[in-house]
Every structure is written in C-alpha cells, then in structure tokens.
Structure 1
Amino acid sequence: MSYFLKNSSKLFTFCLLILFGSIQTIQAQNQYELNQGWKCTPIKSIKENGATISNPSFSLSAWKPAVVPGTVLTTQLANKEIPDPFYGMNNEKIPDIYNTGRDYYTYWFAKDFKEVKPNDDTQVWLKFRGINYSCEVFLNGKKVNEKLIEGMFLRQAFNITKFLSNDGNNRLAVIVYPPDHVGNANGGQGGDGTIAKNVGLQYTAGWDWIRPIRDRNTGIWDKVFIEKTGKVNLKDPHVITIVPEKRLPEGIQKPAIIKASADLENTSEQSINGTLVYSIDGSKYTQKVSLAPKSTKTVTLADITLKNPRLWWPAGYGKQELYDTKFEFIVNEKVSDKEEVKVGVREIQSNWNSHTLSRQIYVNGQKVFIKGGNWIISDAMLRFSKERYDAEIRFHRDMNLNLIRIWGGALVERPEFYEACDKYGLLVFQDFWMSGDCNGRWTDPMKKEDQWTRRKYPDNHALFLESAADMIKMVRNYASLAIWCGGNEITPPEDILVPLRDEILPKLDGTRWFVDYSNSDAMSYNSIGGNGDGPYGIQPLKVFWEQRTFPFNSEVGSVGTGDLESLKRFIPEANLKVPYHNSNEKPDSVWTYHTYTGVGYNEFIDPYGKAKDIKDFGLKAQLVNYDQYRGLIEGFSAHSWDWYTGVIIWKTQNPWTAMRGQMYDYYLDPNACLYGLRSGSELVHIMANPIDGMLMMVNNDFKAYRNLMLVAKAYDTKGKEKEITKVFTYIDATSIKKILSVKNILDEIGAEDGSFLSLQLLDENQKVVSDNFYWYPNQKGIYSGLQNLPTANDLKISAKKLSNGKVEVTLLNPHSKTIAFFNRVSLVDASSKERILPVFYSDNYVSVLPNSEKKIIIENVPENAKAQVSLEGWNVPLMYVEIK
C-alpha cells in the first residue's frame, strides 16, 4: 500500500495496516466479514442492470479491485488512479463531485462469496454497518431491498436465506449513489452549506481545518457482515448499570444493579416459545418468552444484583474493568442466536453547579473535573481500523485527558472507537449531525441559502430521527459514552429535537445527560457574551490564567505544527521553508492549504531567535507548542470548581495532514503539544502561575495526599542552582492549594538571560508524583540565555529492552552546571533513521538537570523492527544508541 505515502519506507507495516484498515475476519462463531475480493466499476462504464450484474455468470473481468469497507476515493487511490490527496496540493488534482456531477462517483460494487442455502432452520443475514449515501442491493439476480436505501447513518440487515444459491456460489452487487446534495466546496465552513441537506457528514465540503473530500465519501464505507441465526434473531441487546451512592475505586464495593434486555425477531410463520438467557460474572439469568409469528419483541429480564462489582472508572481515577457478558435465545435446548457484550459497571450523572453556572459530571458518585479533547474523525476518507482507533485513544489517555467530544459535523463514532475508549477510560461526549455553520446559526455570505432555510436542514427529518435511534442502539452499551448532544453550536430543528430528547433517548437509553447543543446555556451559562467558545489560536499564557471564559468550555484551542520530520511527510521539499504570516508576507501556498494559521506564531517563536531554517523552525515551534498546552490546561485547572467544571480543547487530532490543533500528526507522530498537555493535566500537579509566580498544587483525585514533599529549585542559564524550598505539604481531594510566590527569585536570577524552574512533588516513598520544568525569558521577554546555552556534550543515553514491545531509555547528565534542555527521544529504523510509528513514550521533550537522570519508557515497539533510539535536544547534538 505504499502509494499512500510519498515514501513507503517511512513507516513500518503496522502503521500501513492501521492507515488502511485491518483485513482480518471477525472471530465470531456466527458472523464473518466480507472485506476482501470486492470489485467495482463506475456506473458510466456499464449498461447492465443489477439483476444481470449480480448473476454469478456475469463476467467481472473488466472491473477493478475495490476497497470495502471504503469509498470511491480510497478505491481510486488503491488503484493509483489519483495521487495521495493528503500530500502537497494533490487534492486540487482530483475532480470535485460538484463539478463532475453525481454520476462520476456513482459506482457498482460486487463481491462473490461462498454460502450454501441452508436446508434446516438456519437464517442467513446480510448486514451493512454504513453506506453513503443511498443504494440498491442485488443478490444472485434478485433485488434484496424493496425500496431505495437512504442515509449514511443507518445500519441495514436483510434476511437473504431465500436468495442464496444451492451450490454455494453467490454474487452480491450494490450500486452506491453519492449524497443527494453534494454542496459547493466554495471555501466556507461546510462549503455553501447544502451538504447539510443530507443526513450525513458535513465536513466533506471543506472547513477551516480541512479541504474538500472530492467524492464526499461515497461508498460502502463501513463493515459488511454475513451472520447466521436460527429462526429467532437476537438484536440490539441493552445493558444498563446502576451504581448507587458515592464510591471509591479501592476496597469492597456495595452491590450494583444490572438491567438487561434485547430485541427478539421471530422470522418464522409460527409462534415460538423459548428462553432469553443473560450471563454475567459466572451466573445466568433467564426469562421465558413467547413470540408471535413474524414479529419483533423487546424482552426485559428482572433486575440483577451484582455483588462486589469491579467498577469502571475514567482514566487516572481507577481501573477500566470490563465484564464479558452474553445474551442467548434458547429454543428446544438449542441456541437460536447469541450476542456478546462487554460491560463496564459504572453510573454517570450530572447536576448544575450554581457557583460556576455550569454542569458538572459525576462517575460512580464522584465529581470529575473534565479535561477533554475535541475529535473530528479518525480519517477524513473513512479508512478506519481497530488498530488506529486504539493508538489514537491511547494518545488521549497518555495526555491525562478524561473525555473526548465527537464534533457534530462528522458521525456517531464506530464501535471500535468506543471499545478503545472503554479500554483506556475516556468518557465520550457524542454530538448528533448538526453545526452552527451549515444549519443556520449565523448569517454567512458563503452559504447558498438563508438562515431560515438552513435552519430546516436536513431535508428528511424522519430519516434523521430513524438514524439517530439506530445509532443510539449501536453504541449505548459502552461504558465510556457519557453525554449526548443535539448538535455542534446549534440545536436540531424543533420537530427533531423534541422527539429525540423526550421520546427516543428516554426509551432507548435514558441513562445519559442530553444537552441540546454543544455550547448551550444549559451546559455552560454564557455570562460574558460571544458564541460560547474559544479563545482559538495561540495566546499569551496570561489569557488562560487571567481571562475568565465559559464555565464548561466546549472548544478552546491553540496551535499544533509538527517538527521537520512530521512536515516532510506531506509538504514537498520545494515548499519546506520557514513560513511567515504577517502584514508583509504570506506563507507558502502549500502550508496555507494544509491550514497553517501562523498568525502570532512568529511572535512566540522569535523570542527564541528567528528561525534559521525549517528544522530550526520546527524545533522552536515545539517549545511554543509545549508551553501553550501546558499553560492552557494549567490555567483552567487553577480555577477548577471556581470558574470551571470542565474544558475541551479544540482540537486534539487531525483526520488529515493539517496543522491546526493536533497533539500528534496524521501519521500518529506526537509533537510537543501532547507532552505539554500531559504534564499540565496530571491528576496531582505542581505548577507556577506565569503572572505572579505563585506555586500551586492541583489535586483532581478523589483522595487527599497528606504526606508530600515539594522540592522547588531555580537555575540561571549557566546552570547555577538556587534551592527555593524543600518542604512537606498536603492537599485535600478535588482541591487547589496556593503555596508561595517565586516571582521575585526568578526575576532576580533571570533579569539578564532568563531562568529555569524545577518543581517536584514526592510521595512518602520519595517517588515522583508530579514533575514540572519551566523556562523563562529575560526581563525584555527574550530567551537570550537559551540562545547561548552551552552544549551538553556529556549527556549520556542508554536503552535496554524490558520486555516484548517495551524499551527503557535512560538520559544521564553528569555535568555539574549545564542543563540538557528540551530533548526529544525517538524510536527509529536503524537503516533509514526515520521514526517508527506509532509508539508511545512515557514522556518526551524532557530536560535533564545537572547531576541527574531521566527515564523514558517506550511501548509498542515492533518485535521484528531493527530499531535504534535517537536523541536530539536544544543544546544536545543528535545521537543514536543501540537497544541492549
């Protein structure tokens, strides 16, 4: 699959796998996936109808290989018919559907598969988890669907038993039509807005953080399954967990209540009597059921008491315990159908904080300060995989975040996303498919239609509600799902909002907080005007500390440009030059195309010395990145439970090769944003107010810390140390504590060349609880000392394998004066010296004080990789070391 990358050697096979999606068959006894051997052709190249095409005797020899799950563009890319749209200006070379017409991207997809028509009671089902936008389905010369299937967010299941061939040779043919309204990608947010007339994705017409997806993601974009059941099909199992009272993660737990139900579909012409069986924690619970012919019935078991439950907690607070549970329907001592569900036992609640004037979230009775990230979609061209989801959610866990918000211009995320959030402890704030931009909140000259018209989007309100109900059923069992939201910055139209809020959600879920839109006063009272979000873009750190914003801020963000190695992956060499963005000079067009918004960036980079070249720019950008996101989350944390109950960063990832708001790039290479945020988001954290120098402790944990030692040291840029304090201290649960101001000391030490501040909290075993390291400019705001920092030639690095997939790196600075400043550790290919991705670092961009050492753990190291560890810092020359 090397066509996706400019150089296939840049990443190992594992990364290619996660970029293109796994091709492994689902390991389930009664279900398998159709994900190989598909073929396709554009509608304009063929005159035959679906009945003819789906006949196994019809030749597909002229058809091309297709990517399913996938889109027309992913198939064209796989067949080298288009260049990689994420590289350089290649996207401009691909025809846009608005100009070509819908037929250009209307395609037939066909798949031959083996399945003999059963001669017993077995029923065979064809299941689609997502097709964009409408389609017709044929099997072995017969049309399967009675009417046109419409809507990107509707799962479809067809009983194909009668359509199967006796000899087991079957031909499936699907014609997929693009969205009805493709929208003019005119540069507006969602283009001209008409993309929102569909019940589908809005970003595909372009936004300020992405360029248009030329086929608007037309295709069989999600998984296709064949499932076998008996006469009774068990569908949409539902598990609710109730955890009364306030809990702690440790110790013996009081009982929890489990409520279990499932839909049972009788496919036969006769009444059927059977038993619904639910298994959890080694016990079985049953309910006798009688099903009328050709009917579907929701069956609820009696409440189950689960003794001493293993509870699920958000990341950082406790374990993410999951129970393997199973639903079965038994007829005459035989299993007609079964479904397995992983269950996290937890209860999520919310209430109104009358002091902050915002909602606050509780998990298992404990108040949680929300530190979240906004998420668009894993891949803008819908190339999803379990492996990529796992890596991205792990990055969010590693940033010490506890929530991800799914933005409303995308989709209800896939089960594999939610599985990863359950695994890593990330709560999820899930928007439905609305946006203030497309759906008419504001006047907008880029939009084709006026606000009153756009306010009625989408065209088909019944389809929206049907799709919402189906998506609720798909993801409602995941422990991580915490909040439903009507839309991004706007409510749905009233005839969607009311039944969604008052009927559908209570009936199908009823356990989560529903907020009508993402910056609603019901979530975060807007007492200061504006739209309820922001600020966006790079900010002086005092903004985050001193300027009060919205008390549960759903979008506040900054910059995210990667370093040189990241930039090289998508910017052609001719365009790899230092960007500028001021009144006199515009940045390179490729940078602008990839959403570089350098307004203010230079103002923050130049105090480190104007960038000499693109590599120097990339390094200095990381200093800015680290400082921005640490400062952002520290500023909000400093006012937790006083000004704020939560903050969600806009945004923490990019679904393509953009430079706006990302903690790691599209290729899963983290930049310094991730580690600055990781530092500032520690559960128990020591920090310094950048305005008045006040040292503060923040404790977001449920327990108090009674025996901590604070060690604070200042250094001048020549390495001279001054101990500020070394004192025992404590902090109560979910609280903030001010200690002392170090401003005068830092001003004195750093007046001429700037200074450093090292802060540590140690527990009673002298283990580091929090470690924070600041660098400060001189009194003129210039980092003159950093610009002349002596080279740390004596820094030693070693790497040893701890276990399969895990390497420990030790950085030792034996020098008595020089600080080894801002070092990036990377796992690299021994031959190419390029980074192996994705791997996970326990910390990075670290500074090593004189006569001290730092240890970094690298995880997810490929077993077959010929790897080395590289190190390069501000004043540390590039070096490589073998892994022992």
Structure 2
Amino acid sequence: MRKDFNIKLPAILFFLMSGIMLQFSGHVTFAQNQYELNEGWKCAPIKTVKDDGKTISKTGFSLAGWKPAVVPGTVLTTLLANKEIPDPFYGLNNEKIPDIYDTGREFYTYWFVKEFKEPFPANDDQVWLKFRGINYSCEIFLNGSKINTTAYEGMFLRQSFNITPFLSKDGNNRIAVIVHPPDPVGKANGGQGGDGMIAKNVSIQYTAGWDWIRPIRDRNTGIWDKVYIEKTRSVNLKDPHIITLVPGRRTPEGNQQPAVIKVTADLENPGNKPVEGLLQYVIEGNKVSKKVSLAPHTTKTITLDDFTLKNPKLWWPAGYGKQYLYKAQLQFLEKGNIQSDSETVTFGVREIQTDWNATTGSRQIYVNGQKIFIKGGNWIISDAMLRFSEERYDAEVRFHRDMNLNLIRIWGGALVERPEFYQACDKYGMLVFQDFWISGDCNGRWVDPQKKEDQWTRRKYPDNHTLFLKSAEDMIKMVRNHPSLAIWCGGNEITPPEDILVPLRDSILPKLDGTRWFVEYSNSDSMSYNSLGGNGDGPYGIQPISTFWENRTFPFNSEVGSVGIGDYESLKRFIPKENLNVPKFGTSDKPDSVWTYHTYTGVGYNQYIEPYGPSKDIKDFALKAQLVNYDQYRGLIEGFSAHMWEWYTGVIIWKTQNPWTAMRGQMYDYYLDPNACLYGLKSGSELLHVMCNPVDGMVMIVNNDFKPYRNLMLVVKTYDISGKEKLVTQVFSNIEPASFKKYFSVKKTIDDMGKDSGVFLSLQLLDENKKVLSDNFYWYPDAKGNYSGLNNMQKADNLKVTARKQSEGKIEVTLTNPSNNPVAFFNRISLVNEQTRERVLPTFYDDNYISVSPGTEKRVILEYKPDNQKTVISIEGWNLPQKYISIEK
C-alpha cells in the first residue's frame, strides 16, 4: 500500500491538484487476508471502445492506447492526472471543462481495466472481489465472464462478489468495469443542487452546484472508493457489530464500574457443503465463543454471549477525557481449530443517551451519563472530487479538535463518511451527526423556480426507494462500530419520503444499530423546538457580534454562521495574479468574476473590514479580514456558551471546512492552511473560558467541564494603543460544573478609555500555581466605531522571537515583548520552507494570531510531519513587519 503522502504545500499541489489518488493506510474494521487494487488501472471512454466486457476482460485483449486511470477516483481525477483538463479548483478553469449535462452521459462513461495476479485457490478456499463505492452504475467482468448477475447501481452501496470460479488457472487475471454516470445528471443552473434532478439518484447532490461550490463536471462518475481482493476459506466472516453499554454516570478519572460488550457477526457459507465451527473473539485476553452450524449457500447472523468488561477504559469526547480504543479479533474456526476468516474491530467503550431539556425546548446529549454542551461544525466532504486520504482526514478532524469543538455534522447533500474519517473522529474525540442523502433544497421543502419539477414530485425523490433503503442498511453496517458516531439523521432540513423514513426509523436502525439517537431531519422540532418561525436554523452570513449574545435563536441550532476567507498566502493559491486585487462590492461596483466564482460574499463582509481603514493592497485587505474572522467566530461561540442550558443545548456552525477553493464558511482552506476563524473559534470554545459580553461589558466565566474549579484568579486589564497597562481588578472565584457565572461590567471603563482611539481588554484565569487556564484578548473601536488607534500603533520591532526544536516534528516558538513596547498585536506564526518561503502544510499550532502585551511572554507549540526540507519560522503581525527566525536544535 502506498504511503507517499507528504502534506507540505508542494506535495498538496502535486497530489491534490494533479488528481493523483492517495490511499488509506489502515482500517478500523479489516479482514486479515486482503489487499487493495489501487494501482495499475487503465481506462478509455466508451465512445472509443467497440468491444464488449467479455472481450475486454480477457488478458489477451490489447490495451494499446488506453491511459492510466486513478482508482479509487473519478473520471475527472483521471483526466486531471493525465493533464487533459486544467485544475478545476483554480481561477475560472472549471468553466473550461465540459459539463455532462451539455455533453451527454456517454462523454463521461468509461471502461476501467486492472490486471492482477491471484492463483486459483485450492480446496474450499474462496476469493472475493469487493467494491466500496462506484458512481453510479456499472457492469463488472473478469476473465471473459460477467460477474454481477443483477444490476449494480447506487453511489452508496458496497458489493462483494465471489470470484473463485472465474479466476484464471495460471493466476493472471483481468477485471473490466464499465461505469455509467448518474441518470439524470441534472442541469447546473445556479440553483442549490442545480435543477434538482441529481437528487433522483441515490448519490451526492452538491455535484450540480450549490451556493458554496461550482458544478463538478462529471458528477463524480467513477470507481470512487476502494477495491479489494479478500481471501477466505470456506466461510466468510463479515459485518461484525460491537455494542457497549456503560450504565450510570461516569467520570473520566478513577476506577470504573463494569461495562457490557455485545457482539454479533454475519457468517456466509457460499459452498455446497454444510460447515461447522466456532465463532469467537478475544478482548483484553478474554475469549468469548459459540458453536455454529452453517447450511450450504446461507448467511447467518450469530449473536455471542454478552461479556462483562471490568474496570473499562472509557472513550470520551474531545476535552472531557481520553479516547481509549480497544481491539477485538473475531475469528471463525472450521471444526474449532482451522481459521476460515477473521476481522479485527477497533471500538470504544462508551454509551450515548439523550433527553429533553424543557427549559431550552431542545434535545441534550449525554456521553457515559455526563451532559455535553454541543459545539460543532458542519462538514460537507473532504474533497469535492473525492480525492480522499487517511492523512487528509486526520488533519481535517484534528483541526476540528483543535478548535475545541466536540461534534461534526455530515451534511445530507454529501455522503455517509468513509471509515477512515470515522477513524480520525474516534482518535480525536469528535462526535458525529450523520445525515442520510436528502436535502430540503432538492427534495422539495420549498417552492423553487430553479427546479425542473414541482414540489410534489421532488418530495418523492429519489426514484428508487428500495435502493435508498438497501444503501442505508449497508452504510449503517459500514460505520456502526465507531464510538464517534452519535446521531443518525434522516436528511438535511427535510425528512425522506414516508416509505423510506418509516422503515429506516422503525425497523432498519433498531435492528442494525439501536444505540443512537435518530432525528428525522436536521432542524426537526423533536431536536430543537422552533418557536421562532422560519426554517429552524441560521442566521447565516456575517453578523454584528451582539446578535449572538442578545438574539435568541433555535435551541439546538444545526446551522449558524458563514464567513471566513483565507489570508493573502491562501488567496494566492487559487486566484490568478491579475485578479488579486482588493474586492469591490459596492452598489456601483462590478465584482471580480473570479472572486464571485469562488463564492466571496462581499456584501456585508466588506463593511466589517472598512472600520479598520482603507485597504492599501490585497495583502492588507486579507489581514484585516482575519481580524474580522477571529472576532466573528469567537463572538459567535461565546454568545451561545453564555446561554447554555438556558437558551441552548448545542450549536453547529455552518460551516467549518470547504471541499474546494471557496471563500464561504471555512476555518482552514482547501490546502489545509488555517485562517483566523479557527483560532477565534478555538479561543471562544475553551472548556473553561473567560469572556466579555460586547453589549453590556459583563465579564463572565463559562465552565463546560464535568468538574468544578476552585480558587481561580480572574485578572482583568486594559491596554491603551501605546501599550500602557491598567489593572481593572483581580479577584478569586469558584465555578461549578456545566455552568456560567457573571461578575461585573467593564463597559464604562472600555467606553471611557477607548473613546478616542480604541482600547485593548485582557482577561485571564489563573489556577493556584499561577498557570494561565484561559487567556482572552479583545480589541475595541473608538466612539465612532472605527479602529483608528490600530492604524496609529507604533511598531513592535523589539518583540523578541525565538524558535526551538523540542522533538522531531515539534517546535516551540517564544514571543517576548519588552515592557516599554506597545502591544504586539495579532501575530501570525508560520512554519515555512527556508528556500521558497512557502508554508509547510498542514502544520498544527496550539494558538495563532496572538497578541503579546508589554512585559509578557507567550509560547506557541507547533507540530508537523517532518521531511527533508529545511524550515524556518515566519512571523508577521499588525504592527510587526514580517521576519524569519531560525530554529534552534
């Protein structure tokens, strides 16, 4: 298996932008004797191939003129890898690629061929060909024979074929797969999901375009997920299922009362003879087993006896405790001693419950008996062209953990996320709210003149309800063992049709899972009672910070927010040089076509940048945008936290990532480069957090933790523009678990000190050892609402910056500001290549866009995947010219 992923910037550009598919290097559930078919594929468009599948799949058929194919991948990733199309994520290149609606489906219908060696098995051994995802329909041939005797269609459906009888006697084999696009493909007319027709399929809906993405020209046609060969003896062990029961209210520390482990698995006997044997698993040295008899040509679900795990190590959401993971190896032993097949399952011991909060009018979530205030982010998909990798998933989920979030919602216009995504969520403690493939936009919640068919017709989408339910069953089985999976959801802003919803809710999920909350749609009254009117979520777009504190919204809000362009370095990666100008979005201005194509929402956003003064150039504009980003997301999450358990039980930001180069709702860009949104959100989402209400100046502490905090020192200071410090107060305080506490208002102090030039406010919480537990730094405008003082700040040239290597891939940066200096304001630290000065991506900073008060010191720890490139630290701030710092060994 390839492990050549290297996420520095040149590597990202090479791998992601060239369309080369990177492979996962691990599985959460995996067979012991399997391998992937992920290299050496060739392809050709159907219009150039006159022969049929039986002929093409014979090893003697010539593939001269066929081109290398990307599998897993799509037709577009293959065309990009072969340099037949320009990078669709750059500039207006996507407009240069033919759209399938205009070309017809045949244009993107392709043959994919792969040769592999696998000897013909001896005795009763079996060989299986497994597909984890094809979009949309296909026919499969092997060595001159058709393998799928029934239709194989649907983007979200795994298929496994027993190919034992079709293998070549000499061990040389060839697979040929013809892949057809979705039907219909939908017209990309600028609507949400285009004309809506894409939703007639059981597939991704965003490919026809949305307000945050442009159309994917091939609609993601291809063998887009993994292909395996698996070898077993006479019995195939599949779809193991592990449920953990954790009764009572637990704490992360100390000895635990027992937990109950419940295990089932499916056993398939494809042969002509009955088989007897033993199904067993081992956990922590303990063996649980059961005798089994299997009739020929049958599949049976076997339930093992419950196992009581003493003093279990529990799995907790991020911030609350460790994410301990167990491994259990399941085996089927023929005659009790010959291994036929085995699977290893990684799982966490935890239990999720919910109940109704009558005060807020919404659902609240418990993990291991502890109530969790949900702070989440909406997720679309890792890459719009389905170029997935374990490393990219790991980086993106880690960013969400680093934002101090505890949940990711998978939006219903995309997919059930891959096991490798869930593996990262298990690792980092992110709960997952998983939608099925329905959206209010395409599936008829609203009247929409851009849709081809009326609401009544769209309400029945997709066309094949049986396929939807079959796909749902399969995807449930694929991810149900992950402790991070917390919530199933029928669809985005609308339920599935009744004959899908009822069996999904009442029979399929109880039978195949039965342990998680099912919400019928993402803003359902059963999740968040909507007493305010409207659609049950929002507001969207940039808001006055006071909105999040004063205006009550939906008590478990599944979508709120949406700003956040990247900085200058980010913009340069996808906007051509001639378009890198300060965007104009006034009433008489004609917006730049590249900026609007990449979904820049200038109206509203620009007016929040203007108080910082006219932008001298695009770099200055992008820096000021980061100030807006930071302030917006810190204020959003603080406002919700200030009313937790009284107004709210949770909030999920729309949205926290982009699967392409858009500028709408992202904490880091497509290239995995974080912007100030991430760090503003990180600050405001702290488990223990000190903050200030922007409306009345009330200083508050919020404690999301399970434990109380005693003898905290609350320190409140102000700094004027020259850096002069004033201690407002410092007092001892206690705060109880899952609560917030108001102290006093600093509004008059802020108004008086800042009326001419603005002012800085520093809030800190210290423990008894004077360790800083929460550090929050605000900047305020003058009496006219302008940040006039910031534009007159002295340079912080005397800021001392050192960088020291702590260990391989880990660097400590120290910023020391002399007492006679001004505030060193809003500094971005970057790890860069020494020669090119390009950022090393992804790099993870425990803080960034930081301000250092006079006479103080701050440390930032950064981590990255080291390679052979030489690196230095770059730092640049509002009043600190860019400088480069060598890294001490």
Please confirm whether the aligned pair reaches a TM-score higher than 0.5, indicating the same fold.
yes
Give the conservation status (yes or no) of the 8 Å contact 1:807–1:861. Answer: no
C-alpha displacement at 1:871, in angstroms? 0.2
Corresponding residue for residue 48 of structure 1 = 51
Q: Any gaps of 5 or more consecutive residues in structure 2? A: none
| Aligned counterpart, 1:185 | 188
Give the counterpart of 1:609 among 591, 598, 613. Answer: 613
Which residue, out of 857, 860, 868, partners 1:856?
860
2:36 to 29, 33, 36: 33
Partner of 1:486: 490
Q: What amino acid sits opposite 1:286 in the alignment?
A: S
Equivalence for 2:661: 657
Equivalent in the alignment of 1:273: 276
Q: Are the equivalent residues in 1 in contact too, given 2:15–2:22 (CA < 8 A)?
A: no
Q: In the alignment, is the contact (CA less than 8 A) between 1:628 and 1:676 conserved in 2?
A: yes
Q: Give the aligned partner of residue 498 of structure 1.
A: 502
Distance, in Å, in 1 between the alignment partners of 2:18 and 2:91 is 23
Letter in 2 for 1:45: T
Would the aligned equivalents of 2:236 and 2:340 in 1 still touch at CA under 8 Å? yes
The yes-or-no answer on 1:134 pairing with 2:137 is yes
Please give the alpha-carbon distance, in whole angstroms, between the structure 1 residues aligned to 2:819 and 2:538: 44
Residue number in structure 1 paired with 2:400? 396
Shift of 1:680: 0.1
- How do 1:420-431 residues align onto structure 2 when only pairs under 5 Å count? 420-431=424-435
Other-structure match for 2:296: 293
1:446 to 430, 450, 464: 450
Question: Which of 459, 463, 466 does residue 467 from structure 2 map onto?
Answer: 463
CA distance in 1, matches of 2:841, 2:12: 6
Local SS of the residue matching 1:145: coil
1:623-655: CA deviations, max 9, x gaps?
000000000000000000000000000000000
Partner deviation per Cα, 1:667-689 (whole Å, 9 max, x = no partner) = 00000000000000000000000
Conservation of the 8 A alpha-carbon contact between 1:715 and 1:749: no
Of 675-684 and 594-603, the range deviating more from structure 2: 594-603
Report if the CA contact (8 A) 1:19-1:388 is conserved.
no
Q: Secondary structure at the match of 1:326?
A: strand
1:855 is paired with a residue whose SS is: strand
TM-score (norm 2): 0.98
1:600, distance to aligned residue in structure 2 (A): 1.0
| Residues 723-776 of structure 1, C-alpha deviations (whole Å, 9 max, x = no match) | 011111110000000011111111111110000001110111211110100000
Relative distance call for 1:695 and 1:458 in structure 2 (3 A) is same
Q: Does 1:238 align with 2:258?
A: no
Cα deviation per residue 1:123-149 (whole Å; 9 max; x = unaligned)? 000000000000000000000010221
Compute the displacement of 1:23 (Å): 7.3
Asked whether 1:363 is paired with 2:364, we answer: no
Deviations along 1:389-410, whole A, 9 cap, x unmatched? Answer: 0000000000000000000000
Q: In 2, distance between residues paired with 1:18 and 1:475?
A: 27
Q: Which amino acid aligns with 2:299?
A: T
CA distance in 2, matches of 1:866, 1:426: 34
Q: 1:73 aligns with which of 72, 76, 82?
A: 76
Aligned to 2:22: 21
Distance (whole Å) between structure 2 residues aligned to residue 720 and residue 18 of structure 1: 53
Q: Is residue 376 from structure 1 mapped to residue 380 from structure 2 by the alignment? A: yes
Please show how residues 698-717 of structure 1 align to structure 2 within 5 Å: 698-717=702-721
Moved more, 275-284 or 438-447: 275-284
Q: Which residue of structure 2 lines up, in the alignment, with residue 623 of structure 1?
A: 627
Contact 1:754 1:785 (8 Å CA) reproduced: yes
Cα-to-partner distance string for 1:96-151 (whole Å, 9 max, x where unaligned): 00000000000000000000011222100000000000000000000001022110
Confirm or deny: 8 A CA contact 2:20 2:77 kept in the other structure.
Answer: no
1:11-53 Cα shifts (integer Å, max 9, x gaps): 5879889984137698964010000000000000010000000
**Distance change (3 Å), C-alpha of 1:857 and 1:25:** closer
Residues 672 and 179 (structure 1), Cα distance of their counterparts in 2 relative to 1, 3 Å cut: same
Counterpart of 2:429 in structure 1: which amino acid? G
Deviation digits for residues 484-521 of structure 1 (CA, Å, limit 9, x no counterpart): 00000000000000000000000000000000000000
Alignment of 1:879 with 2:883, yes or no, is yes
Alpha-carbon contact 1:720-1:817 (below 8 Å) kept: no
Distance 1:12 1:199 in 2: 32
- Cα RMSD (Å): 1.6
C-alpha change, 1:180 and 1:486, in structure 2 (3 Å) is same
* Code of the aligned partner of 1:490: I
1:316-355 matches, cutoff 5 A = 316-332=319-335, 333-355=337-359
CA distance in 1, matches of 2:295, 2:31: 29
The amino acid that maps onto 2:841 is: L
CA distance in 2, matches of 1:8, 1:433: 33
Aligned pairs (5 A) from 1:297-316: 297-316=300-319
The alpha-carbon distance between structure 1 residues 639 and 586, as it changes in their structure 2 partners (threshold 3 A), is farther
Using the TM superposition, name which of 96-105 and 27-36 deviates more: 27-36
CA contact (8 A) 1:486 1:514 kept: yes
Q: Distance in 1 between matches of 2:261 and 2:696?
A: 51
Aligned to 2:123, what secondary structure does the other structure show?
coil
Tell me which residue corresponds to 1:432.
436
Does 2:476 correspond to 1:475?
A: no
TM-score by length of 1: 0.98
**Residue aligned with 2:95, SS:** helix
Task: Provide the aligned length of Structure 1 versus Structure 2.
Answer: 881
- Corresponding residue to 1:544 among 526, 545, 548: 548
Query: Structure 2 counterpart of 1:180, which letter?
Result: D
Aligned residue in 1 for 2:700: 696
Secondary structure at the aligned position of 2:596 is classed as: helix
2:520 corresponds to 1:516: yes
One-letter amino acid of the counterpart of residue 103, structure 1: E
Match of 2:391 among 381, 387, 401: 387
Distance between the aligned counterparts of 1:25 and 1:285, measured in 2?
A: 26
Q: Is the 8 A contact 1:11 1:835 kept in 2?
A: no
Which of 788, 801, 807 is the matching residue for 2:792? 788
Give the SS at the match of 1:574: helix
1:770 aligns with one of 766, 769, 774: 774
How far apart are the structure 2 equivalents of 1:319 and 1:559?
32
Report the equivalent of 1:94.
97
- Give, in whole Å, the separation in 2 of the partners of 1:681 and 1:666: 23
Q: Which amino acid aligns with 1:114?
A: K
Asked if 1:567 is matched to 2:568, the reply is: no
Q: Residue 726 of structure 1 aligns with which residue?
A: 730
Give, in angstroms, the shift of residue 603 of structure 1: 1.1
Alignment identity in percent?
Answer: 72
Structure 1 unaligned runs (5+)? none
SS of structure 2 residue aligned to 1:227: strand
1:518-570 Cα deviation digits (max 9, x unpaired): 00001000001000110000100000000000000000013111111100000
State the one-letter code of the partner of 1:334. Answer: I
Structure 1 CA distance for aligned equivalents of residues 31 and 688 of structure 2: 42
Secondary structure of the residue that 1:879 maps to in structure 2?
A: strand
In the TM superposition, residue 9 of structure 1 has moved relative to its aligned partner by 4.2
Shift of 1:863: 3.5
The Cα of 1:468 is off from its aligned counterpart by 0.2
Q: Decide whether the 8 Å contact of 1:134 with 1:178 is kept in 2.
A: yes
